[in-house]
């Protein structure tokens, strides 16, 4: 994983380890029960933050990623300050090994909405126009 919610044109990587240090790039290890269509990748036991990524291949259609990150902190995007409150975020994943002839990189750059509560505290980030991608903040 080369980048996870990197703020383009802002404060850079928004996901830090629990004490505020950067931890990407990070390699996730495949779990033993992988098939051609579904595989789970994880950080080694005891490593923080703990990351779990489920990769599902839909032949001739798409590849789906479901990523969970535990024991991490999310830094407020600088681009959420101002009007309109949006941030352009990047995600970059690279798959290698497992029979691939060369590494394959999947990258996404998308505008996200910054949603704050009545006191102005950032409460969640959600992709504009695609409700399936949401990051909840404590």
Per residue in 39-80, pLDDT (tens digit) is 899 998 888 899 999 989 887 777 888 889 999 988 888 888
Residue found by looking up tokens 């098939």 in the block: 35
In this prediction, residue 137 has a pLDDT band, given cuts at 50, 70 and 90, of: very low
Count CB-CB contacts under 10 A for residue 79.
20
Residue 138 confidence (pLDDT) above 60: no
Tokens describing residue 79: 């681009």
Determine phi and psi for 23, rounding to 5 degrees.
-130, 0
Average pLDDT over residues 132-136: 52
C-alpha distances (whole Å) from 65 to each of 40, 44, 73, 93 are 10, 19, 21, 9
Question: What are the residue boundaries of the structural domains of the chain, listed by start?
Answer: 3-136
Tokens describing residue 105: 């990189």
End-to-end CA distance of the chain: 24
């Amino acid at each position: 994983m080369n980048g996870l919610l990197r703020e383009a044109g802002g404060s850079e990587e928004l996901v830090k380890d629990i004490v505020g240090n950067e931890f990407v790039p990070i390699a996730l290890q495949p779990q033993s029960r992988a098939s051609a269509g579904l595989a789970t990748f994880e950080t080694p036991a005891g490593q923080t933050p703990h990351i779990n990524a489920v990769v599902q291949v839909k032949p001739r259609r798409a590849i789906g990623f479901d990523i969970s990150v535990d024991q991490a902190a999310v830094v407020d995007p600088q681009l959420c300050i101002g009007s309109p409150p949006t941030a352009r975020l990047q995600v970059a994943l690279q798959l290698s090994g497992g029979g691939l002839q060369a590494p394959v990189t999947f990258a996404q750059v998308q505008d996200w909405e910054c949603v704050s509560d009545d006191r102005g505290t950032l409460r969640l980030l959600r992709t504009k126009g695609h409700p399936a991608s949401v990051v909840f903040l404590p």
